[in-house]
Structures are given as structure tokens and as C-alpha cells.
Amino acid sequence: MISPKAFRQTAVLALWAAGIVLQAAQETIPINEVEEAVPPYTLPEVLTFCDGRRVESARDWTRRRAELLRLFEDHVYGRVPKGLPRAPGRVVETRRDALGGKAVRQRIQVPLTRGPRPVLMDLLVYRPASATGPVPVFLGLNFDGNHTVTVETDIPLARGWVANRPRSGVTNHVAAEASRGTDTAAWPIERILGRGYGLATAYYGDIEADFNGGWRHGLRGTVAGTGPGSRFAPEDWGAISAWSWGLSRALDQLARDPAIDAGKVAVIGHSRLGKTALWTGARDPRFALVIANESGEGGAALARRFFGETTLRINTSFPHWFNGRFKDYNHRVPDLPVDQHELVALVAPRPVYIASAEQDRWADPKGEYLSGWHAGPVYRLLGREGLPGPDLPALNRSVGDSVGYHVRTGAHALTGADWEFYLDFADRHLRRDSR
């Protein structure tokens, strides 16, 4: 385990160096935020195999799905190494009187690697104390530590690296007491429990620190080794794949708990973690429902639509998120063998919800909507209905059946208003038979 001091020093150095390089590079990267200036583009056909054959049936789709999944692995997010452990976690605490008696709370340490000092992911699980049977659960990674998502003050602070987020008052890269409860607006736990769902969350930094070079501090570095010769092949996993692997191991853990309905787990994430949620739902068909909140470039937003963040820009600012090969497309996005509507389609026929915020132009609300719309042919092939049409709906209105969407007023954030839409969507799809 690397000491917090070493973390701090490496992270500060890396961020400082990256900052200088980035500033120079980003000034020259073209960005468009004017709708009329979006050039025409042609998307790859989701229902056409690479060799030109058409997908005619649900059976064909199974093979096309496998082809697309492999393309996303090889060209965008990277392949997870084979043979990683899936060991059971250790329940370190169960409290039956959490949140003033409304919740049962568990803290579980899930080992992600083998050996005497495994990478440990702390899973925090709340479920309604009043539940009489197994509950459906929302599972999502959080940005700043489990101690930030809850008003309860007895959750251990995140270990290791944390981001330097002004809103938490944290001034270095170690979690501070002052950051307790600073992310509760994004995680309305009591509201979620009140609607009959559980909430499970883990800190993404437990899996891997989020900076270029952060791979040395977490899952990918522990698996590959961090010696001088360690490096990744172009297809190897980036950080999003590592975080996504963690979510799948969290689901393994939830499935070990009879109080949880593991067939009804929704994976949710915001922004970079929305990209992660979408990739997770695509990779791991056990997730019953997928929610990508303002996931933007590399998430729901179409790569070929020149609006907001671009492939070149994201690969320059956050080279560690994707695999090496994805950088080949920095200047030739039309050559990418996939686009993000096909990522959404990989979730089919399971329900998927995409959401945007009006002011979050960087994430390209229209590009996020359109990838949902263009996933429609797959949903229809599998007997489901997607989004109602190619036009962005009115603000603050949820549309769509198996593909859901809203664009909310306001800025880039996961808010209580977003959760109301997600809870309704989950009620429709996960609780159908329990009514």
C-alpha cells in the first residue's frame, strides 16, 4: 500500500506537469458549441455487421452484440485482463439502526486483487429497514468517498488519493473531516429508501486514483505491476474499464445478500462515472437497468457530432480514462468502428436512461439524446420501444419507454430532480411484477 504522503507527492507532481502540458495543448483544440455549425456526419449502422451483413433477428443480434462489445473493448475502453479474482467481501459492519432506524447499513470490504495487500473497495450499502423481502438496489460509484454521500458521521474517511474539490474544502489529496456529507445532494438516500430501494455505493478512488499516472495507485497497477518495464498494450484497459470492473464486483457482493434482489440492480453514474455506468451496463448483462447522468463524451454523447467535448479533447485532458488505441482516432473520428448509440444499444433489451442538463453544453445534450434515439432499432428488434422521435423533448419532461431521457434545467450535476425521474423509471421497469 502506498503511503498517503507518496500519493500526495505523486498526484501533485503529476497534476502540475499535466496542467502545463494541457494548457498548451487545449488552446489549440477546436471546440464547437453552436448547433448550426455542427457538420453533417454518418453514424455506423448498429444493425449491420462489420462484413456488411444485416442483422435480421434477435439471434443475429446476439452475434452483432458480441462484435460491438469487442470493438468497444479494443478501440475505446480497453480489455480487462483475464483471471482477476472475484473473491467474497468481508462485512466489517452491520447496523440495524442507521438513519434514525430507517435503514440497515452495511460496510463491506471487497478485495479486487489477490495477495497479502489486495486493492480493497469499501462498499457502503443502505437498505430500507421496513422491507419485508429482497429489495431492488441502485448501485453507483461516488466521486469523493463514502463519507461524503451520507449525513451519518461514523463512516471512515476515504483512504488514499482524493480529488482536490473546492466544494469539499479539501486542500490536499487526502480526505478531510470537512468533506463529510458534502455530496448528499447527489445521493438522496432517505428518499431512495422511502421509495423501497436500497442504495449501494463505493468510492471510485478505492479502485483507481483518477489522474494520469493514477493507474500506479490501484487496480491496474497492482495487476500489471508498477516496475519500470510495466506498460499497457494499446487494447489494454483504461481507468473507466477498471472502475467498471469494480462495479461488477460490487454486484457479485450484493448478489450474496439474500436481503437484496440481485436481479433488480440498477447501475447509475454521473459524468465520468456516467460513462463508467454505461460501459458497465453494456459489459455486464446482470445489471437490470442502466442510468447515465450527463455522461457526455465517451458516455452517451455521439462522438461524430462535433459539439462540446471531442475525442481529441478528452484524450488530451484525460488520457488515462480510455485505452491506448482510442488515441488513434483523435484526428479521424469518422474512422472509429463504433459510435456511442451502439454502446446504448448494448444494454438492450434492458431499460436504459440517459439524462442531460440544459447548461451542460460540454456534454452535448442533443448528442446524448440522439444516441438513445439511434439505439432504437435494436430495442424495436427485441420487442421494446425506445425514444419517441429524433427531437430533444421539452425541458424537465421524461420521455421514452425502455430508453428513457430527460434534459433538466440547470447545470452539470446529479440532483434530487434527476433522482425523481430515475425512481419513477425504476418503478416502471423493476417493480412491474411486485405491484
Kindly identify the residues of this chain, within the stretch 314-333, that bind ligand GCU according to CB under 6 A: 314, 317
CB of 367 to ligand GCU, least distance (A): 12
Kindly identify the residues of this chain, within the stretch 63-122, that bind ligand GCU according to CB under 6 A: none
- Cell numbers linked to 409: 434545467
Output 84 or 413, the one with its CB closest to ligand GCU.
413
CB of 270 to ligand GCU, least distance (A): 7
Output 167 or 256, the one with its CB closest to ligand GCU.
167
CB of 355 to ligand GCU, least distance (A): 13
If one counts every other C-beta atom within 10 angstroms of the C-beta of residue 3, the result is 9
Distance (Å, rounded) from C-alpha 197 to C-alpha 264? 10
How many residues lie near ligand GCU (CB under 6 A)? 8
Distance (Å, rounded) from C-alpha 352 to C-alpha 288? 9
CA angle in degrees (0–180, nearest 5) for 266-272-278? 35
CB of 160 to ligand GCU, least distance (A): 19
Integer angstrom CA distances of residue 310 from 6, 11, 54, 317, 330: 33, 25, 30, 11, 8
The reply to whether 305 sits near ligand GCU by the rule CB under 6 A is no
Output 123 or 314, the one with its CB closest to ligand GCU.
314
Output 108 or 301, the one with its CB closest to ligand GCU.
301
Which of residues 297, 339, 368, 418 is near ligand GCU by CB under 6 A? 297
Do 201 and 268 touch, CB atoms closer than 8 A? no
Output 367 or 386, the one with its CB closest to ligand GCU.
367
Distance (Å, rounded) from C-alpha 250 to C-alpha 381? 31
For 337, residues 6+ apart whose C-beta sits below 8 A from its C-beta are: 44, 50, 71, 75
Where do we find the cell 419532461? Answer: 397
The reply to whether 340 sits near ligand GCU by the rule CB under 6 A is no
Which of residues 145, 296, 376, 404 is near ligand GCU by CB under 6 A? 296
CA 181 vs. chain centroid, Å, equals 21
CB of 314 to ligand GCU, least distance (A): 5
Output 297 or 418, the one with its CB closest to ligand GCU.
297
CB of 278 to ligand GCU, least distance (A): 11
Instruction: Lay out the site mask for ligand GCU across 264-283 (x = CB under 6 A, - = otherwise).
Output: -------xx-----------
Q: 32 - beta bridge partners?
A: 308
Kindly identify the residues of this chain, within the stretch 205-244, that bind ligand GCU according to CB under 6 A: none
- Cell numbers linked to 57: 433477428
Distance (Å, rounded) from C-alpha 69 to C-alpha 213? 26
Output 309 or 418, the one with its CB closest to ligand GCU.
309
Which of residues 73, 309, 339, 368 is near ligand GCU by CB under 6 A? 309
Query: In terms of Cα–Cα distance, which of 204, 200, 112, 212 is closest to 162?
Result: 204
CB of 281 to ligand GCU, least distance (A): 17
Output 281 or 296, the one with its CB closest to ligand GCU.
296
- Cell numbers linked to 135: 429489495
Distance (Å, rounded) from C-alpha 259 to C-alpha 339? 38
Query: In terms of Cα–Cα distance, which of 159, 167, 149, 168 is closest to 99?
Result: 149
Strands 90-97 and 103-111: antiparallel
Q: Which residues are known catalytic residues?
A: 271, 412
Span interacting with ligand GCU, options 130-138, 148-156, 309-317, 369-377, rule CB under 6 A: 309-317
CB of 272 to ligand GCU, least distance (A): 3
For 152, residues 6+ apart whose C-beta sits below 8 A from its C-beta are: 98, 99, 105
Side-chain-side CA neighbours of 95 within 13 Å: the count stands at: 15
Interface with ligand GCU by CB under 6 A: which residues? 271-272, 296-297, 309, 314, 317, 362
